[in-house]
Copies of this chain bind each other. A is one copy, B any other.
Amino acid sequence: MEEYSEKQLSILKVAERLFADQGFHGTSVRDIAQEADVNIAMISYYFGSKDKLLETIFRFRMEASRKFINELLENDTLEPLDKIYSLIDRFINKMLGEQYFQCIMSREQLNSQQSPVRDLIWQLKGEMLGLMQPIVTNAQEAGIFHKDVDVEMLMTTLFGTIHQVIPAQHILKKSAPPEVISDEDYGAYIRNRVSTHLKKLFKAILTHEF
C-alpha cells in the first residue's frame, strides 16, 4: 500500500537486523539511527514511535507473506506429494531469505502479553495452516495420504525446524563438504540439507505404512 522513501527503507532494514540480533528491547533507537546514518528524531518523525517501527516492519513483511501464500495456491496441477514438496521448498526459501525477520518473529511470538504484532503472527500462521490443511485432507480422502496425520503438528514441525535451523547454522555448517566455501555456497548447502530432510520426513509420515 504505502511506499517508503530510501531513507525510510534504510531505517527499516537496519532496525530489522538489529532487532533480530539483539532483540527489540535490546536495541535502542540511537543504535538504529546511528547505523542507518539518520538523526534520532527521524524515527519518531517517520514511524511515530519505536513500537510503531516494529509494527511497520511486521506489516511490511506480512504483506509479502500474503502474496506468497496466494502464489502457493496456484500450484493446482501437481500431485499431492509434489504439492507438499513445492510447499516445503518455497517455505524454506522464503524463511531463510528473510532470516532477520524470522528471528524477530521467533522472539515476538514468545511474548505473553498480547500486542498488534502478536496478533499478526498468529493470524499469519493460521493462514499458513489453512493453506496446507486442504492439500493433505484432499489427498487423505483420495487415499493417497494416511488418515492419522496431525496436520497442525506437521505445520508446527515445519516452522519449528526452520526456525531452529536459523540460529543453528554455525553448527550445521561444520558438516558441510570442503568445497562449500562462499556464503552463497553455504546458503545453498543449508537450504538443500533442510529441504532434503523435511521432504523425507513429510513423505515418510504421509505415505509410510504403519
Contact = CB atoms under 8 A, between A and B. Distances in A.
A25 interface: yes
A110 B201 contact: no
A161 B196 CA distance: 17
A142 interface: no
Interface in A177-210: 193-194, 196-197, 200-201, 203-205, 208, 210
Q: Is the interface of A mostly helix, strand, loop or mixed?
A: helix
Interface residues of A, number: 50
Given A113-B21, A113-B22, A156 B164 contact: yes
A111 interface: yes
A64 to B, nearest CB: 21
A41 interface: no
